[in-house]
């Protein structure tokens, strides 16, 4: 494990400069720079101070968990069919409800629709791949056709309908997850 590179990544993720970490730990910017470039190693006590300034601890820092999965294959997709509403949802990322956003591929059969979604915090984005939809946000409705996208803050009731006799396919991303 390259401790310096991992410390630098944590520092950047926390939006801190080398000067800020050095100041919080009574060290010099030069020393932090050398640690990050793996030119020197901190003592355990110094490493603990740096990790505390970065909001973590030794156990978490050295916990070698599995590599984060980046690419998802067709076998990873989970599908759910709703015969009553006449649609199929493909969860593109397994367990995405634990993430900050949830992307799905939705197939709306002719005259298919979604449930009415109540207002919530977050953002909604969609892109119509095939067909068209009617998007209802509050008391307004919008026609969204193939090649067009939508984006809104879901602070009002909202839903989607396919008001045609042709299938519609769209990508829909919700944050926080709500599907």
**Is 39 in the same domain as 89?**
no
In the three-class reduction of DSSP (H, G, I as helix; E, B as strand; rest coil), residue 11 is classed as helix
Residues 57 and 81 in one domain: no
Task: Decide if 37 is inside a domain.
Answer: yes
**Nearest of 156, 96, 153, 149 to residue 126 by alpha carbon:** 149
Residues 90, 94: Cα–Cα separation, whole Å: 10
pLDDT of 48 over the 70 cut: yes
Report pLDDT for 45: 94
Measured in whole angstroms, the distance separating CA 102 from the mean position of its chain's CA atoms is: 7
Last residue of a domain, one of 39, 62, 85: 62
Note the pLDDT of residue 66.
55
- Beta strand spans in 56-178 (E): 78-82, 87-91, 102-108, 123-130, 132-137, 140-145, 149-152, 158-161, 168-175
Structure confidence at residue 98 as a pLDDT band (50, 70, 90):
confident
Query: Within a domain: residue 117?
Result: yes
Task: Give the pLDDT score at 176.
Answer: 83
pLDDT band at 177 (very low <50, low <70, confident <90, very high): confident
Mean pLDDT of the chain: 92
Report yes or no on 69 lying in a domain.
no
Confidence of residue 67 (pLDDT cuts 50, 70, 90): low
State CA 160 to chain mean position distance.
22
> 131: domain CATH number?
2.60.120.10
Residues ≥6 apart with Cβ < 8 Å to 148: 127, 128
Q: Supply the pLDDT for residue 97.
A: 72
| pLDDT at residue 64, rounded to an integer | 66
User: Do 83 and 146 reside in the same domain of the chain?
Assistant: yes
How many folded domains does the chain comprise? Answer: 2
Residue 73 has pLDDT above 60, yes or no: yes
Q: What pTM, to 2 d.p., does this model score?
A: 0.66
Residue 124 burial by Cβ neighbours in a 10 Å radius (0-12, 13-18, 19+): buried
Residues 103 and 158 in one domain: yes
Structural domain range at position 17: 3-62
Mean pLDDT within 10-26: 92
Residue where one domain finishes, among candidates 29, 62, 95: 62
Confidence of residue 171 (pLDDT cuts 50, 70, 90): very high
List, for residues 114-148, the tens digit of each pLDDT value.
999 999 999 999 999 999 999 999 999 999 999 99
Among candidate residues 23, 38, 62, the one where a domain is terminated: 62
For residue 144, the tally of other CB atoms under 10 A from its CB is 19
Tell me, what's the pLDDT at 62?
87
């Amino acid at each position: 494990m390259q401790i310096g590179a991992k410390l630098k990544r944590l520092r950047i993720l926390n939006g801190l400069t080398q000067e800020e970490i050095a100041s919080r730990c009574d060290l010099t910017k030069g020393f932090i720079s050398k640690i990050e470039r793996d030119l020197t190693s901190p003592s355990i006590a110094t490493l603990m101070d740096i990790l505390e300034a970065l909001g973590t601890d030794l156990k978490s820092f050295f916990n070698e968990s599995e590599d984060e999965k980046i690419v998802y294959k067709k076998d990873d997709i989970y599908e759910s069919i709703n015969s009553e509403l006449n649609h199929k949802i493909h969860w593109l990322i397994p367990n995405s409800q634990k993430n900050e956003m949830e992307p799905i591929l939705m197939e709306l059969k002719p005259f298919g629709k979604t449930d009415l979604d109540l207002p919530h915090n977050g953002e909604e984005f969609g892109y119509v791949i095939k067909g068209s939809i009617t998007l209802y946000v509050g008391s307004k409705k919008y026609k969204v056709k193939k090649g067009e996208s939508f984006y809104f803050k879901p602070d009002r009731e909202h839903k989607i309908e396919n008001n045609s006799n042709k299938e519609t396919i769209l990508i829909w991303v919700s944050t926080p997850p709500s599907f």
